[in-house]
A and B are shown apart, each in its own frame.
Chain A
Amino acid sequence: MENLWIIVAMGAVTYLPRAIPLAVLAQIKIPEGFIRWLRFVPVAVLAALLAPELLLRDGAFDLSLSNHYLLAAVPCFLVAVKTKNLLLTVGVGLAAAILLQSYLPGV
């Protein structure tokens, strides 16, 4: 039972940062400088999340051939740049990841 209360509290501290900025900022006039600042948030968040995902394994840099995520990312980037098609990129990425796991030794 105590665990459930911890989980409810986890939910609360997760929800508030998700909802409050949106609810407040959408209803007030946002200064132009802040809008300019916010414009760079999506690309920065995406790049900041993606880089460790592709380049690190267990917290350490892994640029070897056994880093399948990094290898599978190469065709993904190519397809994304060429087509900008989300599903196609994901399909190619999954196919690459599965092929790599099946045929390239060393996980």
Chain B
Amino acid sequence: MMSLPTTEATLKTANPVGELAAGVSQATPIMLGYVVLAMAFGILAREAGLTILETVAMSVIVFAGASQFIAAGMFAAAMSPATIILTTFLVNLRHILMSASLAPYLRGLKLHSYALLGWGITDETFAVHSTVYRERRRHHWFIYGTNFAAYAAWVSGTVIGALFGSIVPGIDQLPLGFALPAMFICLLVMQLSDRLVLYAGVLAAGLSLLFGQLWEGNWNIILATVLTATIASGWEKWKISG
């Protein structure tokens, strides 16, 4: 294995294409999960009455799994455009936190790089990148690689589902979607560097379940994360200063 860039200086001389390839290979579990979920989405969206073009366009333009499933249901129920758009906004608002938390790792790039890097932030790519970057700095083309691979899998899965979903019944019944939770489990374990982080994870899990029972929508993710980060960082600061 070639040596990996770790400092700002070596990052500049790192081979972007090699980093891109490393990013793509890092995305294997994401791609597996996305192809299957996207096929399920393609089938569902067609059943909801969207055309093939609309179904694929949603994956190409929106690229956000949970909100697309929800939107397909709302199209089927003939809800108003404003309701569909607002719901999509709220369901995807959690990306704000992920986007912000990647920022300290990605300083000194051009604006168009940020525009492109932000495009690919999903729960899954964020999970991979926040874990990888905790270990060491990588060239930002590494992120392009993962994001592009995930995007390609999401779009091609949608195309397959939209076109052939009715021909291969049952493929979306296989529990291949478990690739994503399984990946999350490993990434979560890899995040647990010290006891405070472990407690934060337990707290966030509990709060997410609690808030999920209290309110509709995806508010539990945002609220649990904000509250957990506030409590954990406050505790840490208090311990250091006290």
Contacts and interface: CB of A to CB of B under 8 A. Distances in A.
Contacts of B37: none
Contact of B204 (A4, A38, A43): A43
Contact of B85 (A6, A44, A51): A6
Given A14-B67, A47-B202, A48-B204, A4 B95 contact: no
Interface string A73-102: 100110111001111011011100110110
B12 interface: no
B168 to A, nearest CB: 17
A73 to B, nearest CB: 6
Interface in B23-72: 26, 28-29, 32, 50-51, 53-54, 57-58, 61-64, 67, 71
Interface string A18-41: 111111111100100101111111
Contacts of B155: none
A69 B181 contact: yes
A86 B236 CA distance: 29
B127 interface: yes
A23 B111 contact: yes
Contacts of A55: 209
A52 B92 CA distance: 17
Contacts of B119: 15, 18-19
B167 interface: no
B100 A21 contact: yes
A44 B200 contact: yes
Contact of B186 (A13, A24, A80): A80
A90 B29 contact: yes
A37 B204 contact: no
Given A17-B95, A22-B102, A48-B220, A43 B197 contact: yes
B198 to A, nearest CB: 8
Given A21-B100, A48-B221, A10 B85 contact: yes
Contacts of B130: 41-42
A84 B193 CA distance: 12
A14 B225 contact: no
Contact of B228 (A44, A59, A69): A44
A15 B174 CA distance: 31
Contact of A23 (B54, B86, B95, B115): B115
A24 B109 CA distance: 11
Contact of B100 (A3, A5, A27, A38): A38
B99 A50 contact: no
Contacts of A9: 81, 85
B118 A19 contact: yes
Interface in B93-129: 93-104, 106-109, 111, 114-115, 117-119, 121, 123, 126-127
21 contacts: A8-B61, A14-B64, A18-B96, A19-B99, A21-B100, A22-B99, A26-B103, A26-B108, A41-B229, A42-B101, A45-B98, A45-B204, A45-B225, A48-B207, A48-B224, A49-B208, A51-B208, A51-B209, A68-B178, A73-B185, A93-B179
